Amino acid sequence: MPEPRNDPHRERILTPQGASSRERILDAAIELISERGYSATSVDALCRRAGIVKTALYWHFGSKEGLLAAVIDRVASEWIDEIERSVYRVGEPVERLTRAVRGMRTLVEERPELLRLLLAVLFERAEGDTESRAALRRTFVRARRAIVDAIESSAPGVREPDLIAHTILSLMQGALLRRLVDPEGADLDRIFNEAERTVRLMLADRGIRDASPSDT
């Protein structure tokens, strides 16, 4: 039997009980997908972990793929919120952007299950025009926009703000991947100090005041 189609408007009319059910499903999906990967996580296992019936899962998300997209949106929100809190606070460009790098370190240390989940999705859902891929694209677009906005608002006319944002995100993603693949060998102090230093160098190269390389 085909799975019900996903309806993005359903979550707008949830009762408190329905909202609770939806959150339990998302929590279960984050736990299981980060432990087993997406392909190895069955709908039956998700329902058992969440304590719900299949029809509830399909009502909320339409399909397993729709659930994955919702999971990515929720996980990504924590990541993007951390970036936005850092870059939208008052301060010089260097201060704002290095705060974002440090915020990522905090997330790496405190919420490793979120990183495992994103890694699983990136490897397992790398191809195809799917809801989960669209959710990942939204994540990176929003993150890049936050960084570009911070640069342009605090350093108007700076050269290549998109390139700076892309480089910062690439540095962060590399650090997160290293932590996931080799948690014992990953020296977070060194990794994130180098990331901050690179940010400072890029801004200094564009003539932004107080953007000299850090001694750390």
- Does the residue 132 lie in any domain? yes
Q: Which residues of the chain have pLDDT under 50?
A: 1-11, 211-216
pLDDT value at residue 14: 66
Q: Which CATH number characterizes residue 183's domain?
A: 1.10.357.10
Cα gap 28→158, rounded to integer Å: 44
- Does the residue 211 lie in any domain? no
- Does residue 136 share a domain with residue 165? yes
- Does residue 115 share a domain with residue 34? no
- Does residue 56 share a domain with residue 18? yes
- Does residue 134 share a domain with residue 47? no
- Does residue 50 share a domain with residue 125? no
- Does residue 99 share a domain with residue 40? no
- Does the residue 139 lie in any domain? yes
Taking Cα atoms as reference points, which of 160, 169, 144 lies closest to residue 207? 160
How far from the centroid of its chain's Cα atoms is residue 210's Cα? 29
Q: Which CATH number characterizes residue 41's domain?
A: 1.10.10.60
Torsion on CA atoms 187, 191, 193, 199, rounded to nearest 10 = 180
- Does the residue 46 lie in any domain? yes
- Does residue 190 share a domain with residue 125? yes
pLDDT value at residue 215: 44
What is the tens place of the pLDDT at every residue in 101-114?
787 777 777 777 77
Structural domain harbouring 142:
71-205
- Does residue 194 share a domain with residue 168? yes
What is the tens place of the pLDDT at every residue in 153-193?
777 888 888 998 888 888 777 777 777 777 777 787 888 88
Q: How many domains does the chain have?
A: 2
- Does residue 56 share a domain with residue 30? yes
Which one-letter DSSP state was computed for residue 186? -
**Helix or strand (DSSP H, E) at 170:** helix 161-181
- Does residue 157 share a domain with residue 83? yes
Q: What angle do CA 127, 129, 133 make, to 5 degrees?
A: 75
- Does the residue 77 lie in any domain? yes
